[in-house]
Amino acid sequence: MITVQNYREVLRLLHPRPVVIVVTISSSGLVNGCTVSWITPVNIDPPTIAFSLSPKRYTYKLLRESNEATINIVGIEDLEKAHYVGTVSGRDVADKLVKAGFTLTSSVKVKPPTIKEALGVLECRVVGEIEFTDHNLIICEVIHARVREELFADGTWTEEARILLHVGGNKYTSTSKHVRAEGGD
């Protein structure tokens, strides 16, 4: 084994990670989103997730105005769109989600819209935040979730769901075939 000392490389030892587009809305109705791969479940009942977001991001500013977001899980077919959304600021490019090629649709229970092309969507309300030096951990309760019916069966993603995973930088991969461990469920 070799020693890994570069901070960014240390964290990439925990990759690949699912890619999501966090979509937010301002109090005046401006919509923005950013690509995030630092996301994790943190509680079952109520379902609660956490994701890491820099307070420098325009998405963070809008998130703090509404305290709501949609978490849009994207597939490998949307790689270029997701990468664009993660590398261009909404401060510089108005309607960047639409310019990336995504279609926005109304959410069921929150104000920020969802991405029609998403494989699955979590509609969330912010319930907490932990500040760190360059990113904050945003804690959200999931108040509504939906998924493409053909891609989710028996409580898990099917093999056909080619979820986009971030490896690091501009490198991505996707899920492949399922393998099963012996015993348990």
Q: What's the pLDDT at 125?
A: 98
As a whole number of angstroms, the distance between CA 64 and CA 185 comes to 39
For residues 109 and 125, is the Cβ–Cβ distance under 8 A? no
- CA trace torsion 119, 123, 127, 131 (10° rounding): 40
AA identity, residue 43:
N
The helix (run of H) or strand (run of E) holding residue 9 is: helix 7-12
- Torsion angle, alpha carbons of 56, 61, 64, 70, to 10: -100
Please report the pLDDT score of residue 10 as a whole number: 83
Distance CA 145, CA 151 (A): 14
pLDDT of residue 14: 79
Is the pLDDT score of 183 beyond 80?
no
Mean pLDDT of 158-171: 93
C-alpha 130 chain-centroid distance: 18
Bridge partners of 119?
Answer: none
Note the pTM of the prediction, 2 decimals.
Answer: 0.93
3-state secondary structure of 106: coil
Q: Which domains does the chain have, with CATH numbers?
A: 7-174 (2.30.110.10)
pLDDT exceeds cutoff 90 at 152: yes
Specify burial of residue 120 (Cβ count, 10 A radius: 0-12, 13-18, 19+): buried
Is residue 185 over pLDDT 70?
no
> Where do we find the tokens 């510089």?
92
